[in-house]
Structure 1
Amino acid sequence: MKKLIGKLGVISVLLIAMSMTVFANQRVYKLKMATTWGKTASPLIDTSIKMANLAKVMSNGQLIIRVDSASKHKAPLGILDMVKAGQYDIGHSASYYWKGKDINTLPFTSMPFGMTAAEQYAWFYHGGGLELMQKTYKIHKVLSFPGGNTGVQMGGWFKKEIKSVEDLKGLKIRIPGFAGEIMAKAGALVTNIAPGELYTAFERNTIDALEWVGPSMDINMGFHKVAKYYYTGWHEPASELQFIVNKRSYKKLPKNLQEILVLAFRLAAYDMYIQNYDMNAKAWQKMKKEHPQIKVKSFPEDVKKLLKDSNKKLRESMAAKSPLLKEIFKSQEDYMQSIREWTIISDYQYIKDNL
């Protein structure tokens, strides 16, 4: 010890001893997180794991989050209830899964013909979206934060080309949620089939078309082997996942760990967006090379008009039943109107002018 003091000085030794004591006395907070995703559902499950790792590193090991995939807790669509009840401290899922419990949760994932991912992130963090999300989830006694975006989801795989609105009538299609209601109004026969049964149903003509996500996730499902028409997106232009936090669990954390947790959410969410963008690009190149028969199509103008008209009527009907939903819709509409002009003269025009 004398030699050490001689080399470093008394003050240095005292500082080292103090820092070691502080570190030893730091309380470790252990939280449990349930996800909707299975162990192989990349990049969705990746985002849950990255968030937990970020929280651990930024907190110097004070914040430890155990991630349970759907295969462990067996309730992929029960995340909100489990977090609300305190069975789990955190959940990673998607807000529109709870529309049956609370219709006001629907717009925080994505809305047909709505904002792009960049626009929607701007709305969340600079346009009042995050405040509206907390207002919505307050009744459930949880906090909710953006949890990762898939970007524009493709309009789906179709065995036959859609040339007019007549081709939608009687079309058997798997497409869930709000988009499914719109398709039903357009005359399609909408169904929802479990993911594990989709390929078989598609291959055996139980359904004529289906919507999943995009190349990065579709390629593993093999839909491109069954249908050659791949339609561009309209229904989920910016599908945002969510991190849900039990309020009691959150309040038990020291202020600095609360900030670290929220920052880990934000970093992991954006990382998922760019990871999925990269995965989509690579998967599309593989699809195109191995299955050159695939034709990327956009719906004809009369179909798009019908879908937009149906979307407008459904939104008006839903908003009339909920003042909060009406407030959320208006906030999104106003923000999109203000930001879309910049999107057009920047990203859109750049791509259009330099193809």
Structure 2
Amino acid sequence: MTLNRKFVWPLMATLLSTVGAHAAEFDLSIQTHFSAESLKGKNVQSLVDDIERMTAGRVEIEMFYSASLVKATETFDAAVNGILDGDMTGAAYQTGKDPAFQFVGDVLGGYDTPWEMYSWFYYGGGLEAAQPLYEAHGMHVVGWWISGQESLSSTSPLASVEDFKDWKFRSPPGIQTEIFADLGASPIVMDFGEVFTALETKIIDGADASNIATNSEIGLYDIAKHATYPGFHSMPADHLAINKGVWDSLPDDIQAIIEVAMEKMAFRETLSHSVEMGAAAKAAQADGVTLYDWDAEQREAFRTFSRAKWEEWGEKTEQAGDLVDSHIAFMKKIGLITQ
């Protein structure tokens, strides 16, 4: 029997196409508040690409950038409630649920470098201390990604703790305002987008806005000719947290791939921003900005003030207390806290 090529070839092409375009076994939807064009967004996309490639297409991820599905502060709840599968925003957004989230989002004045913070998470009991907090809210934390130290910008010198006295500056809400107020500063909570105008009109003398590269991009150093670098006061971490039911439904090999891909992405995040911030610092100095790299004594003084506030927040809930105790124990182990 002779087959008619007119009918056979189209049939074979259809069959091959169907085999090659098989549907993924697992479809995950995740949201980040960063834009796809930003360095953070590009690093997030590398995570997506790695997971899809390492699973040979068994996992497909739909990533929503720029908080395009729900507001950034609502991402966690959207994942809890099944609107999304995962959240790649900041844990500090969830301090209204439990103050403990502050201590997986930003340990103000705690660590000097992102690597110390990662070390707490992976080798200092951080993951074990944080996981019950996430599970209590129906989530599973996979890992952190940390850009690096943030820089304070000012129209006056910031050489020591004493320079915070009567310093009027933009501050994000939360524990930051309490720490700086105790140091004699006058923190004013305002939106990020209002900072430049507030500096220009002298409503504020400085700002706790972002890292030195972002501060440069928005023009803060056209006005504020003093900045801390590398920063010491804040080093925000964003997380990858997955709905616990979704996470538990994934096979062990898929879970391991996501964990490994997250570690790679986190470290690349820190490295890429280190390059970006270093270049920004060099350019800022060339433009007449004075940079202040606080010595160990001044950092310890700020950490001591901050620690008092951590411990105060640690009394609010059991989970907060557990996380604060975990951080302090690890800082003592690596010598950041001596007693």
**Shared fold per TM-score greater than 0.5:** yes
Q: Deviation digits for residues 24-76 of structure 1, max 9, x if unmatched? A: 76743221111122344x33222321211111111111211111112522502
The equivalent residue for 1:242 is: 239
The equivalent residue for 2:14 is: none
Equivalent residue of 2:271, what SS?
A: helix
The equivalent residue for 2:86 is: 90
Amino acid at match of 2:127: L
**Which deviates the most, 90-99 or 70-79?**
70-79
- Which residues of 2 match residues 135-150 of structure 1 at below 5 A? 135-150=132-147
Aligned length, in residue pairs: 318
- Which residues of 2 match residues 168-317 of structure 1 at below 5 A? 168-176=164-172, 177-232=174-229, 233-236=231-234, 238-289=235-286, 291=287, 293-297=288-292, 307-317=302-312
Does structure 1 retain, via aligned residues, the 8 Å contact 2:109–2:302?
no
Amino acid at match of 2:329: D
TM-score w.r.t. structure 1 length? 0.80
Does structure 2 retain, via aligned residues, the 8 Å contact 1:37–1:76?
no
Does structure 1 retain, via aligned residues, the 8 Å contact 2:171–2:188?
yes
Does structure 2 retain, via aligned residues, the 8 Å contact 1:165–1:302?
no
Does structure 2 retain, via aligned residues, the 8 Å contact 1:36–1:70?
yes
Residue ranges of structure 1 left out of the alignment (5+ in a row)? 1-19, 342-355
Q: Which has the higher helix share?
A: 1
The equivalent residue for 2:11 is: none
Does structure 1 retain, via aligned residues, the 8 Å contact 2:98–2:317?
no
Does structure 1 retain, via aligned residues, the 8 Å contact 2:79–2:243?
yes
Q: Deviation digits for residues 117-152 of structure 1, max 9, x if unmatched? A: 212212211221111111111111001132311222
Counterparts of 1:139 and 1:166 in 2: how far apart (Å)?
41
Counterparts of 2:148 and 2:162 in 1: how far apart (Å)?
30
**Which deviates the most, 139-148 or 189-198?**
189-198
Q: How much does 1:112 deviate?
A: 2.6
The equivalent residue for 2:4 is: none
Equivalent residue of 1:31, what SS?
A: strand
Give the alignment's Cα RMSD to 1 decimal: 2.8
Equivalent residue of 2:268, what SS?
A: helix
Equivalent residue of 1:241, what SS?
A: strand
Does structure 2 retain, via aligned residues, the 8 Å contact 1:33–1:66?
yes
Counterparts of 2:169 and 2:65 in 1: how far apart (Å)?
29
Does structure 2 retain, via aligned residues, the 8 Å contact 1:127–1:335?
yes
The equivalent residue for 1:6 is: none
Amino acid at match of 1:295: T
Amino acid at match of 1:216: A
The equivalent residue for 1:11 is: none
Residue ranges of structure 2 left out of the alignment (5+ in a row)? 1-16
TM-score w.r.t. structure 2 length? 0.84
Tell whether 2:326 aligns with 1:331.
Answer: yes
Q: Deviation digits for residues 193-246 of structure 1, max 9, x if unmatched? A: 22222212221222211022222222211111111011242222x432100101
Equivalent residue of 2:175, what SS?
A: helix
Amino acid at match of 1:258: Q
